[in-house]
Structure 1
Amino acid sequence: MKNRKKIAAALLTTSNKPLELREVFLDALLPGEVRVKSLAAGLCHSDLHYLNGALPISLPAVLGHEVLGEIVEVADEQSAHRVGQRVIATITPACGVCARCISGLSTQCLSTSSLRARVRPKLLDSKGEVVTQLGSIGAFSEEFIIKEVAAVQVADFIPNAEGCLMGCAVATGFGSVVHGAKVTPLDSVAVIGCGGVGIAAIQAAKISGAKQIIAIDLHDEKLQRAITFGATNTVKSDGDVIAQIRKILPLGVDKSFEAVGSPITAALAFEMLATGGTATILGLEKPGSLISISAELLIEGDRHLQGAYMGANQLSRDVETFAQHYLSGDLQLGNMVTSRWAFSEINEGFESMKDPSSIRAVVEW
């Protein structure tokens, strides 16, 4: 393990089994990279899907992608980053110069795959086997290596646990409203799923001035919380959701957001639309999943179904906006963190996600 640093990581060795705290070996930096010490990481439902085997990943693996850390080493002296800066990592590093980037579509950058690629593996286990890192980050470890362009500086006044949410939950939920669906004060909004992404979308809809915001979830606890974040109405999803929506908005909603990750709720998001409305699907689904929608509603009603991968965010710009809304109190990052765990308690943190009142569990180092 010459030239590699020994660090602790939460290793996924078998699907649907607890993570194992193990020693792994982190490579030396290559040009264009920074080494980051983990400070706080959110436990995202995407991580949970890989943990329980619902989504495939090569094992052994280190999960974790929603993270805030401190730069402890920079490969290039001319880098815009400096040791001591706190940054969040983005799972969608962008080159900034390709056709998609200059069109404002950085989450669809043509060079993301090459930016994630590396001539040597970042992590090896004690046997010398390559360890996969989710999103080329692998945040459930003491330290990780990312490309400079994947690190976005965070304002000093943002606390660690709150700040890490900006890397995924807020970037996705907020971005889907602002960049993806472009919600305005003329729009009514419905959000299916009131976890981290959904709550971020609700807050963004309120900040965007949406005239009505309907929160939809199976759990009363989540619906009650949604009201404190800006929802004007709630619908429990154990009944006829469309009928309940029509009682509130007889013509349907203008913009809907699905943050669950199910073909059923994705189809529901489309079905509840008013004429000309747009449904934005955010939840990750199993490979091969298909969404079935009504041809009549699509063709005759001019309705739209779209994705907004990672909220179609422009993270290097958006983070500053998140910070200002946090300062004003409009973006309640602190209230989104519903439990905090030491790194050694990461499995208990994942268990806590089953609590109906949970929005985001955060691991802190």
Structure 2
Amino acid sequence: MRAALLQEFGGRPAPADVELTSILPQEVRVRTAATGICHSDRFGQVGGNPTLEMPVVLGHEAAGEVVEVGSAVTTVRVGDHVVVAPAGSCGLCRWCSRGHAQHCQNLARTREAGAPSRLEADGRPVTQFVGIGAFAEEMLVRESSLVAVPPELPWETAALLGCAVITGLGAVRHTAGVGFGDTVAVIGCGGVGLSAVQGALLAGASRIIAIDTMASKLEVARQLGATDVVDASRDDAQAAVLDLTGGVDHAIEVVGRPATVQQAFGMLGVRGTATVVGLPHPGDEVVLPATALLQEKRLQGSRLGGTSLRVDVPLYAEMHLRGRLQLDPLLGGTIGLDGLADALEGIDSSTAARTVVTF
């Protein structure tokens, strides 16, 4: 099969022939239909995680059709349409038992030591990014990394449920716990940030302020429920939010830079909470005014939006099909595998919420 293979950090993933090894009892083989391009993929490409072994197939936000199941698989069958996400969990460990599957201690994204790799190229093991490796014509993943969705859900739309939607909407719903009447600022209006805007709307937020440097993304944010927008390429975002609200109840940061994390905290009102969704780089440090803590302001992180894969993805799929959750505005262009390298390099300047690789 063809896959986009990255040979070294900072390199360009290029189409290559890759082989799947034999399926194990707890695994599922999926024919990939669509895979969204996420900043996490770019993060892996440039060496954000130096322990990532090369060569690697990136990609983790995907949808496709089940073509083979292992003998121990019980939740899906051949022919099912599925969303594949980095939100798998064992369901039994300490954190899963507490309802925080995003911190599962037994992810088992890769096979046990001594077992053959799921992917090989020219006889060499190939790493699957976060145990998925979705920039490929097929995926071989653990059963816990996927969930069935209605077949009427378009492939490109379904793929977004694998990361962007569950992360952004989940951060508002599960991590921040935005309540009816709360005021919310969202910093960064890509696929994740726009999902957070919708999450705030669904939660009944009284004011939703979208912040970005691209006018096109701010316009989509308005369509999805933002009551106010701030163009951070022109205006001081923190000052603008304080001027509009006097300080918000929630600031959702989706960029992952120290400066925007500090801005998020600076936008808060008394007892406000800043929730960091963006992926920070190793060594990043954030400096906060200690006196602000006397106003009971809080800074917290969000991992995958606190998602419960088997509960949240089918719920969001059903909400979309019933017209209660808009996913189509999140979609930008679609490309083939040959266009992946350019799309990854241009992701920071992309005017689209999400570019999707289709197969």
Q: TM-score range by the shorter chain?
A: over 0.9
Partner of 2:170: 175
Deviations 1:132-185 (A, max 9, x none): 111010001111111111111111221100000001000100100100111111
Q: Decide whether the 8 Å contact of 1:349 with 1:362 is kept in 2.
A: no
| Paired-residue identity, % | 39
Q: Decide whether the 8 Å contact of 2:26 with 2:73 is kept in 1.
A: no
Shift of 1:125: 1.4
The 5-angstrom pairing of residues 64-213 of structure 1 reads 64-76=59-71, 79-112=74-107, 114-118=108-112, 119-126=115-122, 128-213=123-208
Shift of 1:244: 0.8
User: Alignment partner for residue 306 of structure 2, among 308, 312, 323?
Assistant: 312
Equivalent AA in structure 2 for residue 89 of structure 1: V
User: Alignment partner for residue 233 of structure 1, among 213, 228, 237?
Assistant: 228
Partner of 1:331: 325
| Whole-Å separation in 2 of the counterparts to 1:58 and 1:266 | 30
Partner of 2:238: 242
Q: Decide whether the 8 Å contact of 2:80 with 2:151 is kept in 1.
A: no
- Point out where structure 1 has 5 or more consecutive residues left out of the alignment: 1-6
Equivalent AA in structure 1 for residue 23 of structure 2: L
Shift of 1:354: 4.8
Q: Decide whether the 8 Å contact of 1:221 with 1:356 is kept in 2.
A: no
Q: How many residues align?
A: 355
Q: Decide whether the 8 Å contact of 2:111 with 2:117 is kept in 1.
A: no
Equivalent AA in structure 2 for residue 121 of structure 1: S
Shift of 1:54: 4.0
Deviations 1:209-256 (A, max 9, x none): 111000011112211221011110011223322211121101x00011
TM-score, length of structure 2 as denominator length: 0.95
Equivalent AA in structure 2 for residue 170 of structure 1: V
Secondary structure class of the residue paired with 1:124: strand
Equivalent AA in structure 2 for residue 165 of structure 1: L
Shift of 1:15: 2.8
| Whole-Å separation in 2 of the counterparts to 1:21 and 1:104 | 39
| Whole-Å separation in 1 of the counterparts to 2:45 and 2:93 | 34
Deviations 1:33-84 (A, max 9, x none): 1111101000001111222334433211100000001111111166222011
| Whole-Å separation in 2 of the counterparts to 1:117 and 1:293 | 41
Partner of 1:40: 34
| Whole-Å separation in 1 of the counterparts to 2:59 and 2:330 | 18
| Whole-Å separation in 2 of the counterparts to 1:287 and 1:124 | 29
Secondary structure class of the residue paired with 1:362: strand
Equivalent AA in structure 2 for residue 267 of structure 1: Q
Q: Decide whether the 8 Å contact of 1:9 with 1:21 is kept in 2.
A: yes
| Whole-Å separation in 1 of the counterparts to 2:121 and 2:324 | 44
Secondary structure class of the residue paired with 1:167: coil
| Whole-Å separation in 1 of the counterparts to 2:349 and 2:239 | 28
| Whole-Å separation in 2 of the counterparts to 1:55 and 1:329 | 38
Secondary structure class of the residue paired with 1:331: coil
Which deviates the most, 315-324 or 156-165? Answer: 315-324
The 5-angstrom pairing of residues 199-348 of structure 1 reads 199-238=194-233, 239-250=235-246, 252-298=247-293, 300-348=294-342
Shift of 1:186: 2.4
Partner of 2:355: 361
Question: Where does structure 1 differ by over 6 angstroms across 4 or more consecutive aligned residues?
Answer: none
Equivalent AA in structure 2 for residue 206 of structure 1: L
| Whole-Å separation in 1 of the counterparts to 2:59 and 2:90 | 23
Secondary structure class of the residue paired with 1:116: coil
